[in-house]
Structure 1
Amino acid sequence: MGSATPPSKASKGGEYAVGKCPTPRTLSGCSDDTIERQEMPLAKRELVPVLILLALTLLCYSTSFHGQFVFDDQQVVLQNSQLMNIRTAGDVMSLGAGWRQLLLITYGLNYYWGGLDTFGYHALNVALHALNVLLVYWIILAAARDFGFRISDFGLGGEAGHRRFAALAGAAVFSVHTLFTSAVSYISGRSSVLCGTFYFGAILLFFKALAAPQRRTRCLYLLFAGAAGYLAWQTKQEAITLPLLLAGILFLRSGKKDWRWIALLAAVPAGLIVLARDQLASVYAAVYANKVLVSAGFEKVLPPAIYFPTYLTSVVRYYFPRLIFPVSLSADPQIAPIHHWYSPELLFSILVLSTLPWLALRFYRREPLFSVGVLALLVSPIAGYALIPLADVVLEHRAYIPGLGIAFLFGWAFQWIARSYYNARWLSLCALVTVFGVMTAVRNTVWANNIALWEDAEAKAPDKPRTHFNLGQAYQQAGRLPEAIREYEHALRLKPDIHAAYSNVAAIYLDQNQFERAEEILLKVTSVAPDFTEGFINLGVLYIRIQQPDKALPQLNRALAITPEAFAAHFNKGEALTQKGDFKAALESYKEAVHLRPDIDSFQLALGAAYSKAGDRASAAREFLGMTSGPLAAEAVRNLGILYRDVGETKRAMEFFHQAAKMRTVFPELHHDIGILYLQKRMTNEAIEQFRITLQEQPDYGPAFLNLAAAYQMKGEPQIAKQTLQAYVQQYGNTNSPYVARAKQTLERLE
C-alpha cells in the first residue's frame, strides 16, 4: 500500500533528483543544470525572478491604492459594529471568533492602524497578492522539479533554466491577470486573496514534503501544510477543495499509486462537512433565504435543480474564456438560468468539463504542467461553488484560487514556446504580460468608486435590474438625483416589484420636500414589503421632517424589529424622541447609533446635543470636544458655543462662535445662534444684523424669520416685525415647514 508518509519522487530514466549529475548528456560530461549553476550563483538565480514578479505586481496595482469602499465593502467594513469600535490591539484579537476569523482580524488591523483610510486596505490586499504571486512561482517550480523534465526536450537551453522560465511565465501571468482585480482591487475580495495565501502555502509545503529525503523532514512539512490548510479553511470555506487537489497531485505523480494517502486526503472534505454540519446548515439556510435582497424585491436564489446546470454552464461560458483572456469583465454579470438538462449550452459545458480531465490523464506523463494546471483549475473553489446555491451565480473574485491552474497552463504554454521557438520565448511573454498589465491597471480604475463600477456593470448587463438599481444608488449618494431617478425607473421597468427602488425614489422626493408624494410611495412600499427595513426607516424620517414624531416612532420600531442593528433606525428614533421632548430615551437611541456607526460624525453631534438637552452638559462637552478635529469640527465648536450660551457664559460662548466662523465661511446656523445670544443680551441691532446674514445665506431658514420678528418687537418696531412674518408666510406658506404655522400664530397675536 505504500509508506506511512507520501512517497518522494524516485530517480528513473530521463529524470533525476536536483543536485545529482547522472550519466553525461553534454560535451562537458555534466548536465546543463550543473553548467547553469556554475554560471550564476544560486541566490542571484532565485532573487531575480522574485524581484521581477514583485515589481510587476506593484506596477500593475499602483492604480488601486486610493480606491473607495465599493459594493459589499459597506457591509463588510462600515456596517460591522465590532470592527468599527476597535480601539486597542486586544479589540482586534477579539474579532477572531466564529467563521472567517483571520479575515476579520486583517480588517481589524487595517482599522486599528488607519481607520477608514482605504489606502491601508488596498495596500494589504496588494501585499497579499504579491506574496501569492511568489507562492505560485515556487509551486510551479516545485511541481516542475517533482514531475521532472527530460533534458532532451530542451537541447542546450538548460533544464533548470526552462523550469524557472515556465514558473516565471505562469506566475507573471497570475500577477497581472485582469480577472483577479475583482479580488485584489476590491477590498471585500480579500477573502479570496487571503484564503489563497494559505491555500497556496499548503500546496507548496506539500510539494516540499514530497521532495524531502528524510522521513522526519517530510512529516514536518506535512504538519505545516495541514496547518496552512486549516488556516485557509478558517479564512474562507471554499478551501474545502484543497485536500482533493493534493490527492490529485499524488495520483498524477506516482508511478505506483499510494491509494492509502490518496483516499485519506480525498476523505478530508467529507470529514469537515460532517464535523461542521450544524454551522454549514445554518450558513446554507441563510444564504438560500437571501433575506435582505429578497425583502428589497430582488430575485430569490435559484432552486438547486436550476442552479447546478446554470453554474456548470457559467463555469465554461463565463469563467474559462476570461481566465484565458480577461475581457468583458463585470462586477455583476447577467447569467441566464438553465432550466433544462438537454439545453445545448449545458451539454456543451458537460462535454468540456469531461474532456479536460481526460486530457489531463492522457498527457500527465508527457506534459505534467498541463495536467497539474487542469487539476488545479477543476479541483478548486470553482467546483466547490457548484454544491451550494448562491444568490450570485458568478462573482469574479471566486476565480482567484482557480487562477493557480491558469498559471500552470500559461507556464506550460510558454514552456512549449521555449521548446519550439526558443528565441521568441521572452518576446511573447513580455507582450502578453504587457497587454494583461495595462488591462489590469485600467480595470483598477473601474473598482475605484461605485459610479465607475456600476456604470461599467450596467453597460455590460443593460437588461439586469440590479445594475441599474446599484448605479442609481451610486448617483443618489453623489447627489446626482435626476440620474438616480432615471436609473431607478429603468430598473423598475425591468422588474416592477423592486421595493428598494421605490423607497429610494421616495427618499429623493423627501429631500426635495415633496412630502405628500414621498408618503404615498412609502405607504405602498411598507404595505407590500412588510420585511423591508429601509421602507419603514424612510417613512419614519418623513414623519420626523413634518414634525409628527408619534407617527414616526411606530415605523422606526418596526424597522428595528426587522433589523435590530439598523443604525439609521436607531438614529432617527432618537430624533423622533427628541421632538417629543423625551431626551433621556432619545439618548439611548443615539448611543446605539453611535456604537453601530462611530464613523458618522453627525450621529455623535446629535448625541452631544441630546446630552445637553437632557441636562448632562459635561457629557455633551465631551462629545463635542472629541469632534473638534473631524469633518464636522465647525458644527462641534458651534455646539460648544450653544452649550455655554445656554448656561449664561456669553463671553465663552462668543469665543467658540468666532472660532466656528473661522472654520466655515457660509454658516447660516451659526449666525442665527449668535443672533440669539445678542437677543438674550437685548442687543437688538446686533441680533437683527446676524438674523439678516442668516437669511442671506439661507433664505428659507424659518427660525431666523421668527427671531428677526422677535428682535424688531423687542426694539419697539412691531410693524416691521409683522411685515417680516407676512413676507415669510407669503413666500413659504405652501411648504410643509413647521415654522409657517408658528409664524401665522405670531401674526394673529400681532393683529
Structure 2
Amino acid sequence: MLAFVQEKMTVPRCLATMIDSPPPDAAGGTAGRRVPSTPARRRGWWWPVGLLLATAACYFGCIDVPFQFDDQPAVLYNQTLRDGWPSWGMLHPPADAAGATGRPVVNATLALNYALGGANVRGYHLFNLLLHVLVALTLWSLIRRTMRLMSPAPGVSIDAVAVTAAGLWAVHPLLTESVVCIVQRNEELVALFFLLTLYAVNRSATTRTPLARRSWAVTAVSACALGMASKEVMVTAPLVAWLYDRTFLAGSFRGALRARRTLYGGLALTWVLLAWLVLNNAQRAGTVGFGLGITSWDYLLTQCRALVLYLKLAIWPHPLVVDYGSPVVHRLSAVWWQASVVLALLGATIWALVRRPAAGFLGACFFLLLAPSSSFVPLTTQTIAEHRMYLPLAVLVLLVVLALRRLPGALTGTFCFACFVALAFGTIRRITVYRTEMSLWTETVKYAPDNPRAHLNLGQALLTSGNAVDAVQQFETALRVRPDYAEAHYNLGLALSQQGRLADAAVAFKAALDIVPDYTIAHNALGTSLAQAGEFAAALEQFDQALGERPDFLDAQVNRARVLVALHRGNDAIADYQQILRRHPDSAAAHLGLGDAWAANGTSQEAIKELRAAVQQEPRLVAAQFNLANLLSADGRLAEAVPHYAAAAQEEPNKPALQIALANALMRLGQSREAALHYTAAVELQPNSAELRLNLALALAASGRLAEAIEQCQTALRLRPGFGAAEHYLNEMRSDLQKSASRP
C-alpha cells in the first residue's frame, strides 16, 4: 500500500469543476472517451492485489471469532440451513432468523456455508471476508471508470485516488461489525450488488458493441434484483443509478431515459420483487413499520442524532458500540443542533446537484443509501446501528480523498498512509473485542449503560460461564431499565434456577409469561422449575401448554415424559419416549429418559440398552453415564460400570457424589489405591463429612498407608464425636500399625 500514497492526488476538478459530463455519443454514453495507455496503467494490476492483501491481513484475525448476537438465530437455530444446498427451503428463511429473515439471498449464502462446513464458524468468516474484499475491489473499479469519464488534470493518478479511497474504506473500524458478525453479510451483499449495478450501468453506456451493451444492462438488472433480495435498502438503487447516469454519462435525466429506457424499466421492475418480499414478511416479524410503538416523527428526530453520530464515527471511530438498543428522541429541542447539521447538509447537497453535479451526486448518494433505515420508517429493535454505514462510509471517504487535492502531493501521501495505518490498527484492535461474548457485551454495557439488551446479553454470557450471581445482577439491571422485558425475566429465572432458588425462578418465569403469554420456552422452563420442586402435576400443565403452542418442541416433549415417570405413569412415559425417538432417533435426552423409564418399571436390560445409546450419542451427558453405571453396578457388572462412573466424574469433577460413586466401585473391585485418589477429591469438596473421611481412611488402609488412614479417622471423630464406626476402625488401624512396627 506504500505505492499509492506517493503519487500526486490532484484530482481533476472533482468538487469544483468536475461537474459537466462529456457530451454523450450516439448511444447516449461516452464510449469514445478513452484515457491513453501509460506505464502506470499497465502496472495497474498491482492496485487490486495490494488492496486485497491489505484488507485480508487487517481482518484475518476474525476467523475464529464465535457466532455473536444475531448470528445465533440466523445460523445455529435456522432450520432452513439444514435442508441442503441448493434447496427451496433456503429461499424461505424463518421469521426468527434475525438478519436473514425476508432476505433469501442472505439465507442462501448461509445455507451454502452450512453445506460446506456445518456450524464451523471459520467458513462463515472467510465468506464474509471474501465479500468485503469483493466490495472493496468493485468500489475501486467503479471509481476508476467514473473518473475516466472526465478530462483528468495533468499529473493526476486516477488509480491512486481510487485505491486510496477503497483502501481507507476497507480498513475503517466502523465496518468491523458488518464484516465480523456473520449475519451482517447482508450489508456486504447489498453493497456489492449496489456497486455492481452502478458499474454495469457504466459499462452498458460506455461499451461499443450493442451485444455487450445489452449484456451489461442484463447484468445491472440482475445485480439490482439480487440486492433487493439481500436487504431492503437496495430500494434506492434504481434512483441512484439514474442519478449516476445523469451526472456522469447522459448529462440529463431525460437523456438517460431516452438512451437506456429498457435498462431503467428493468431496474424499476426489481421494485416488484422487493415489494413481494416485504409483503410476504409483514413488518419483518413486527420490528419494522408503522404502528409498532414509535411514531415517524420521533424516529426522524432520533435519526438526526444517529446521522451526526455516524459522521463523527467516520472521522473518529471511537467508541464503537455493537448495540445501542432502541433509544428514541421525542422532542426537537433535544436534537436541535443535530437536526440543523442534517438540514444544512441536505441543503448543500441540493445546491450541489444543480451547481456541482459530481459533488451533489456523492451527497445525494449518502442520503439515499441511509434513507430506507434512517429517515421516517421506524426500525424498532435498533434505532441506531453502526452497520448501516457500511456503504455510505465509502461516499464520505471518497469525498475526503478528493478534498485532499488541495494539499501538496507528498503531504497528501504521508497523511493518507498515516490514516491507513491508524485505521487498520483500530480495526485489528476492535476485532479482539469480538473474540468472546463476555468482552463484547462488557464493552457494550460500558458505552451503552441504558441498553437493556446489552445487559441481557452480558448476563447470558455470565450465565454460560457459570457465574449465576453476576448474571442475576445484569438481568435485574435490564429489568430496571425496562420492566416489561420478558426475555430478561426468563433469563433471570434461568439464573435463579442455576442457584437452586426454584421458587424465585418460578416467579420470574411467570412474570415473563404475564408479559408474553405464548412464550413457549418460558412455559418449558417454568415446568422444569416446578418439576425440580416436586410439583409434578403443575409442571405437566406447563409442558402441555408449551406443546400446544409448538408441538415439535423436543425439549418440552422429553420433559413431559420425564414428569410422567415421576407421576408413576411409566407406561405412558415409555410410549411418549418411543414416539419421540421415532422422529428424533439421535436425541440423547430421549434415550436417557426412556432408559430411566424402563429402570423405573424394573426392566433393567432395556434401560441399559437405552442408556448405552444415550452415551453413544452424547458421551458428555453426565446423567446418562452415571445412571448407566448405577444399573451396571446393580447388575454385578462393576468392571463395565467403572468407565462410565469415570466419564461422569471427569465431566463434572466438582460434584462429590460422582467422585464417591467412582471410588466406591473401585473399592469393590479391590483397586484401593485408585479409590483413595477419588475419595481424596471428594474430601476436598466436602471436608466436613465424617463418613467421607472414614471411607478415605479405609481406602488408605487397604493400600497400606496406615498412618494417613489413622489421621483421617481421627479427623472423622473430631467432626463427629462418638462416631462408632470411626472408633472401631481407628482401633483396628492402630493395632495393625503396632503389629507392623513390632515386626523385625
* TM category, shorter: 0.7 to 0.9
CA deviation after TM superposition for structure 1 residue 634, in Å: 7.8
Matches within 5 A, 1:399-548: 399-414=389-404, 416-417=405-406, 420-548=407-535
Give yes or no for contact 2:298–2:331 (8 Å, CA) kept in 1: no
CA deviation after TM superposition for structure 1 residue 140, in Å: 0.7
Answer yes or no: is 1:116 the counterpart of 2:123. Answer: no
| CA–CA distance in structure 1, aligned partners of residues 276 and 329 of structure 2 | 30
Answer yes or no: is 1:377 the counterpart of 2:375. Answer: no
Q: Which amino acid aligns with 2:595?
A: S
Q: Which amino acid aligns with 1:9?
A: T
Q: Aligned-residue CA RMSD in angstroms?
A: 4.4
Does the residue aligned with 1:179 lie in a helix, a strand or coil? helix
Matches within 5 A, 1:257-276: 257-260=255-258, 271-274=269-272
Give yes or no for contact 2:565–2:573 (8 Å, CA) kept in 1: yes
Give yes or no for contact 1:103–1:194 (8 Å, CA) kept in 2: yes
CA deviation after TM superposition for structure 1 residue 319, in Å: 2.2
Does the residue aligned with 1:116 lie in a helix, a strand or coil? coil
CA deviation after TM superposition for structure 1 residue 551, in Å: 1.5
Aligned residue pairs total 652
Relative to the length of structure 2, the TM-score reads: 0.75
Answer yes or no: is 1:125 the counterpart of 2:118. Answer: no
User: Which residue pairs with 1:149 in the alignment?
Assistant: 151
User: Which residue pairs with 1:201 in the alignment?
Assistant: 196
Give yes or no for contact 1:671–1:691 (8 Å, CA) kept in 2: yes
Q: Which moved more, 1:207-216 or 1:489-498?
A: 489-498
CA deviation after TM superposition for structure 1 residue 355, in Å: 2.3
Answer yes or no: is 1:18 the counterpart of 2:9. Answer: no
Give yes or no for contact 2:520–2:549 (8 Å, CA) kept in 1: yes
Q: Which moved more, 1:274-283 or 1:386-395?
A: 274-283
Give yes or no for contact 2:164–2:401 (8 Å, CA) kept in 1: yes
Question: Which among 52, 61, 80 is matched to residue 63 of structure 1?
Answer: 61
Give yes or no for contact 2:128–2:180 (8 Å, CA) kept in 1: yes
User: Which residue pairs with 1:323 in the alignment?
Assistant: 314
- Give structure 1 stretches of 5+ with no counterpart: 20-33, 292-298, 599-603, 709-722, 728-751
What do the CA deviations read for 1:468-496 (whole angstroms, capped 9, x no partner)? 23322222222223322222232233233
Does the residue aligned with 2:45 lie in a helix, a strand or coil? helix
Q: Which amino acid aligns with 2:251?
A: G
Answer yes or no: is 1:169 the counterpart of 2:171. Answer: no
| CA–CA distance in structure 1, aligned partners of residues 488 and 326 of structure 2 | 22
Q: Which amino acid aligns with 2:243?
A: G
Q: Which amino acid aligns with 2:79?
A: S
Given the superposition, is the C-alpha separation of residues 571 and 386 from structure 1 closer, same or farther in structure 2, using an over 3 Å criterion? farther
Q: Which amino acid aligns with 2:540?
A: L
Give yes or no for contact 1:674–1:687 (8 Å, CA) kept in 2: no
Q: Which amino acid aligns with 2:64?
A: H
What do the CA deviations read for 1:291-316 (whole angstroms, capped 9, x no partner)? 9xxxxxxx994434335413541453
CA deviation after TM superposition for structure 1 residue 412, in Å: 1.8
Q: Which amino acid aligns with 1:437?
A: A
Given the superposition, is the C-alpha separation of residues 199 and 658 from structure 1 closer, same or farther in structure 2, using an over 3 Å criterion? same
Answer yes or no: is 1:9 the counterpart of 2:30. Answer: yes
| CA–CA distance in structure 1, aligned partners of residues 464 and 235 of structure 2 | 39
Does the residue aligned with 1:46 lie in a helix, a strand or coil? coil
User: Which residue pairs with 1:608 in the alignment?
Assistant: 591
Matches within 5 A, 1:210-221: 210-221=205-216
Give yes or no for contact 2:257–2:264 (8 Å, CA) kept in 1: no
| CA–CA distance in structure 2, aligned partners of residues 518 and 443 of structure 1 | 37
Q: Which moved more, 1:235-244 or 1:426-435?
A: 235-244
| CA–CA distance in structure 2, aligned partners of residues 691 and 579 of structure 1 | 32
User: Which residue pairs with 1:255 in the alignment?
Assistant: 251
Given the superposition, is the C-alpha separation of residues 663 and 178 from structure 1 closer, same or farther in structure 2, using an over 3 Å criterion? closer
Does the residue aligned with 1:283 lie in a helix, a strand or coil? coil
Given the superposition, is the C-alpha separation of residues 617 and 240 from structure 1 closer, same or farther in structure 2, using an over 3 Å criterion? farther
Q: Which amino acid aligns with 1:18?
A: V
| CA–CA distance in structure 2, aligned partners of residues 626 and 77 of structure 1 | 23
CA deviation after TM superposition for structure 1 residue 165, in Å: 0.9
Answer yes or no: is 1:353 the counterpart of 2:343. Answer: no
Give yes or no for contact 2:536–2:563 (8 Å, CA) kept in 1: yes
Given the superposition, is the C-alpha separation of residues 280 and 102 from structure 1 closer, same or farther in structure 2, using an over 3 Å criterion? closer
Q: Which amino acid aligns with 1:124?
A: F
CA deviation after TM superposition for structure 1 residue 591, in Å: 5.4
Give yes or no for contact 1:9–1:211 (8 Å, CA) kept in 2: yes
Matches within 5 A, 1:71-90: 71-83=69-81, 85=82, 90=85
Given the superposition, is the C-alpha separation of residues 288 and 579 from structure 1 closer, same or farther in structure 2, using an over 3 Å criterion? same
- Give structure 2 stretches of 5+ with no counterpart: 1-22, 94-101, 599-605, 696-715, 721-744
Give yes or no for contact 2:539–2:563 (8 Å, CA) kept in 1: yes
| CA–CA distance in structure 1, aligned partners of residues 27 and 556 of structure 2 | 58
Matches within 5 A, 1:269-348: 271-274=269-272, 277=275, 279-288=277-286, 301-310=292-301, 312-333=303-324, 336-339=327-330, 344=336, 345-346=338-339, 348=341
What do the CA deviations read for 1:360-409 (whole angstroms, capped 9, x no partner)? 44223xxx3x4443243222254455364212112222221223323432
CA deviation after TM superposition for structure 1 residue 220, in Å: 0.9
CA deviation after TM superposition for structure 1 residue 424, in Å: 1.6
Given the superposition, is the C-alpha separation of residues 276 and 561 from structure 1 closer, same or farther in structure 2, using an over 3 Å criterion? farther
CA deviation after TM superposition for structure 1 residue 169, in Å: 1.0
What do the CA deviations read for 1:671-694 (whole angstroms, capped 9, x no partner)? 666689799x99999999999689
Given the superposition, is the C-alpha separation of residues 466 and 265 from structure 1 closer, same or farther in structure 2, using an over 3 Å criterion? farther
CA deviation after TM superposition for structure 1 residue 117, in Å: 2.9
User: Which residue pairs with 1:46 in the alignment?
Assistant: 44
Given the superposition, is the C-alpha separation of residues 10 and 108 from structure 1 closer, same or farther in structure 2, using an over 3 Å criterion? closer
Does the residue aligned with 1:95 lie in a helix, a strand or coil? helix
| CA–CA distance in structure 1, aligned partners of residues 615 and 577 of structure 2 | 15
| CA–CA distance in structure 2, aligned partners of residues 324 and 135 of structure 1 | 23
| CA–CA distance in structure 2, aligned partners of residues 662 and 533 of structure 1 | 34
| CA–CA distance in structure 1, aligned partners of residues 649 and 482 of structure 2 | 49
| CA–CA distance in structure 2, aligned partners of residues 377 and 267 of structure 1 | 24
| CA–CA distance in structure 2, aligned partners of residues 311 and 239 of structure 1 | 22
| CA–CA distance in structure 1, aligned partners of residues 258 and 551 of structure 2 | 51
Given the superposition, is the C-alpha separation of residues 682 and 462 from structure 1 closer, same or farther in structure 2, using an over 3 Å criterion? closer
Give yes or no for contact 1:57–1:175 (8 Å, CA) kept in 2: yes
CA deviation after TM superposition for structure 1 residue 76, in Å: 0.9
Does the residue aligned with 2:421 lie in a helix, a strand or coil? helix
| CA–CA distance in structure 2, aligned partners of residues 285 and 663 of structure 1 | 45
Give yes or no for contact 2:612–2:628 (8 Å, CA) kept in 1: yes
| CA–CA distance in structure 2, aligned partners of residues 184 and 451 of structure 1 | 20
Q: Which amino acid aligns with 1:413?
A: A
| CA–CA distance in structure 2, aligned partners of residues 485 and 662 of structure 1 | 28
Given the superposition, is the C-alpha separation of residues 250 and 281 from structure 1 closer, same or farther in structure 2, using an over 3 Å criterion? same
CA deviation after TM superposition for structure 1 residue 607, in Å: 2.6
| CA–CA distance in structure 2, aligned partners of residues 349 and 340 of structure 1 | 16
Give yes or no for contact 2:325–2:453 (8 Å, CA) kept in 1: no
Given the superposition, is the C-alpha separation of residues 542 and 451 from structure 1 closer, same or farther in structure 2, using an over 3 Å criterion? same
Given the superposition, is the C-alpha separation of residues 403 and 642 from structure 1 closer, same or farther in structure 2, using an over 3 Å criterion? farther
Give yes or no for contact 1:573–1:589 (8 Å, CA) kept in 2: no
Given the superposition, is the C-alpha separation of residues 239 and 576 from structure 1 closer, same or farther in structure 2, using an over 3 Å criterion? farther
| CA–CA distance in structure 2, aligned partners of residues 51 and 237 of structure 1 | 32
Does the residue aligned with 2:90 lie in a helix, a strand or coil? coil
Q: Which amino acid aligns with 1:363?
A: R
Q: Which moved more, 1:669-678 or 1:330-339?
A: 669-678
